[in-house]
Chains A and B, each alone.
Chain A
């Protein structure tokens, strides 16, 4: 099965700074790379995703970059705001991997 690791497990930044979270995976057949955000007391929700034929995707202040050779992808948040404070999960899937396995999550805290 897919082994998924996220780093760091916790991240604290000042409002306005950038934040980067990295996800490494083991299944080279994975072809879909989403990031989910879970606010306190709520459900995980998709915030951005990327497919294996694309190296980078951007949506306003968030972006995802993919390195298929090295088997990792990263979430980038610029100009962080307090409402970005949440737990972020990656869950690479596709190819031979039908098991939707999530990383252990990264707790991001944005200090005003």
Chain B
């Protein structure tokens, strides 16, 4: 397995534009997590899925953020419209049921909104 794959690695966009981040989890992992990392806030959990179903989205900062997982091998995080304060590194991670093993992270997407 190639591990968790995220795309794009870098994204620069103008304020107001729609941004879509993509993630392919490790095959067989039932859980998928989206995180945002900044210097000020650290590693924030935005939302997580179990078997493609969103379980907890309480970390999603506002309605501009949405996430989907249409199947076991693909998830997206969308920001519409984007704002400069959304600039951060976004990580996707997948794992077996928490408590049964470690989470594996993708390489992250560095988002810059200008």
> Chain A: residues with CB nearer than 8 A to chain B?
30-32, 34, 36, 42-46, 49, 89, 91, 93-95, 97-102, 104-105
Asked if B98 and A43 make an inter-chain contact with CB atoms under 8 angstroms apart, the answer reads: no
Residues of B within 8 A of A93 (CB): 98-99
Q: Given A31, A36, A42, which contacts B99 in the complex, CB threshold below 8 Å?
A: A31
Asked if A100 and B103 make an inter-chain contact with CB atoms under 8 angstroms apart, the answer reads: yes
Asked if A32 and B42 make an inter-chain contact with CB atoms under 8 angstroms apart, the answer reads: no
Interface size, B (range): 20 to 34
The number of residue pairs between A and B whose CB atoms lie closer than 8 Å in the complex comes to: 60
- Counting from the closest, the 8 A-B pairs by CB-CB distance are A94-B99, A93-B98, A43-B105, A46-B102, A32-B99, A102-B43, A104-B42, A98-B98
Asked if A101 and B55 make an inter-chain contact with CB atoms under 8 angstroms apart, the answer reads: no
Q: How far is the CA of A31 from the CA of B45 in the complex (A)?
A: 20
- Of the candidate stretches B63-71, B76-84, B89-97, the one touching chain A is B89-97
Asked if A98 and B45 make an inter-chain contact with CB atoms under 8 angstroms apart, the answer reads: no
Residues of A within 8 A of B18 (CB): none
Asked if A32 and B106 make an inter-chain contact with CB atoms under 8 angstroms apart, the answer reads: no
Q: Given B48, B50, B108, which contacts A43 in the complex, CB threshold below 8 Å?
A: B108
Q: How far is the CA of A46 from the CA of B4 in the complex (A)?
A: 14
- Given known A-B contacts A43-B106, A43-B107, A43-B108, A32 and B100 have beta carbons under 8 A apart: yes
B56 at the interface (CB under 8 A from A): yes
Q: How far is the CA of A91 from the CA of B33 in the complex (A)?
A: 13
Asked if B91 and A43 make an inter-chain contact with CB atoms under 8 angstroms apart, the answer reads: yes
Asked if B105 and A45 make an inter-chain contact with CB atoms under 8 angstroms apart, the answer reads: yes
Asked if A98 and B50 make an inter-chain contact with CB atoms under 8 angstroms apart, the answer reads: yes
In angstroms, how far is the closest chain A Cβ from the Cβ of B50?
A: 7
Asked if A99 and B56 make an inter-chain contact with CB atoms under 8 angstroms apart, the answer reads: yes
Residues of B within 8 A of A94 (CB): 98-100
Q: How far is the CA of A23 from the CA of B80 in the complex (A)?
A: 36
Q: How far is the CA of A73 from the CA of B60 in the complex (A)?
A: 29
Q: Given B42, B48, B97, B101, which contacts A99 in the complex, CB threshold below 8 Å?
A: B48
Asked if A44 and B98 make an inter-chain contact with CB atoms under 8 angstroms apart, the answer reads: no
In angstroms, how far is the closest chain A Cβ from the Cβ of B31?
A: 8
Write 30 A-B pairs (CB below 8 A) sorted by A numbering: A32-B99, A32-B101, A34-B103, A36-B102, A42-B107, A43-B91, A43-B105, A43-B108, A44-B91, A44-B105, A46-B102, A46-B104, A89-B43, A93-B98, A94-B98, A94-B100, A98-B97, A98-B98, A99-B45, A99-B48, A99-B56, A99-B98, A100-B31, A100-B45, A100-B93, A100-B95, A100-B98, A101-B45, A102-B45, A104-B43
